[in-house]
């Protein structure tokens, strides 16, 4: 899950940040009735980001490198790889240090714990304790995240081996991220302006 990218692409509106963070765990269409305007807007942004990402040629290129070994898990792995590049190059995207930003995100999610779905609440405790958002910057942090996801996968995923493939082809995945992420960032900014 690319939690760091989703929260970053929300801007600084708290409701949008929360909604975008929980977006993978929310079903249905009548989101405003469930969560109110701000959080529902964040869930909608999450869905728009996922749709933009899923159809982008550069992302498809990244996934194609992994497809022979990981099949449909390649999309999840690419999401995590891209969070790694965002964390590792955070100073290119924000003047706020990643450690400070991550702490602010954890506190924000805890503040809205009453509306956060159970699965997210459970995961958030591990995320905060292990400081995932900061540790994504290190390959070992990505390995831990992917190994945990591998354990929870319904079928054999081999996701625990994916960091080895990232190491082997690091430059190509990094080039993909550097090509794709500025476009995604502009898309998210435009979306937020349109749906204020």
Segment 43-90, tens digit of pLDDT: 999 999 999 999 999 999 999 999 999 999 999 999 999 999 999 999
Asked if 87 contacts 136 with a C-beta cutoff of 8 angstroms, the reply is: yes
Residues of the chain where predicted confidence (pLDDT) is lower than 70: 1
Q: Which two tokens stand for residue 196?
A: 């204020």
Asked if 35 contacts 19 with a C-beta cutoff of 8 angstroms, the reply is: yes
Segments making up each domain of the chain, as ranges: 3-194
| Residue 196, pLDDT score | 78
CA–CA distance, 29 with 125 (Å, rounded to integer): 28
The dihedral through the CA atoms of 32, 49, 3, 76 has a sign that is: positive
| Residue 46, pLDDT score | 96
| Residue 168, pLDDT score | 97
Question: Which one, of 87, 68, 65, 94, lies nearest residue 176 by Cα?
Answer: 65
Q: What angle do CA 74, 132, 9 make, to 5 degrees?
A: 70
CA–CA distance, 6 with 125 (Å, rounded to integer): 18
The whole model's pTM is what? 0.94
CA–CA distance, 91 with 18 (Å, rounded to integer): 23
| Residue 1, pLDDT score | 60
| Residue 90, pLDDT score | 98
CA–CA distance, 34 with 41 (Å, rounded to integer): 12
| Residue 109, pLDDT score | 96
């Amino acid at each position: 899950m690319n939690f760091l990218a989703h929260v970053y692409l929300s801007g600084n509106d708290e409701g949008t940040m929360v909604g975008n963070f929980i977006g993978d765990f929310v079903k249905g269409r009548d989101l405003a009735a469930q969560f109110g305007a701000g959080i529902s807007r964040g869930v909608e942004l999450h869905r728009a980001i996922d749709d933009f990402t899923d159809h982008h040629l550069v992302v498809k290129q990244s996934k194609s490198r992994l497809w022979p070994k990981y099949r449909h898990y390649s999309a999840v792995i690419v999401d995590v790889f891209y969070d790694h590049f965002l964390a590792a190059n955070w100073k290119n995207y924000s003047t706020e240090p990643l450690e400070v930003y991550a702490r602010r995100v954890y506190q924000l999610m805890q503040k809205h714990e009453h509306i956060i779905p159970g699965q997210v609440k459970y995961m958030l405790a591990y995320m905060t304790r292990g400081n995932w958002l900061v540790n994504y910057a290190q390959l070992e942090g990505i390995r831990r995240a992917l190994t945990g996801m591998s354990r929870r996968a319904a079928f054999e995923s081999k996701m625990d081996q994916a960091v080895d493939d990232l190491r082997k082809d690091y430059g190509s995945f990094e080039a993909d991220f550097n090509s794709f992420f500025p476009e995604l960032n502009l898309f998210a900014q435009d979306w937020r302006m349109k749906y204020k």
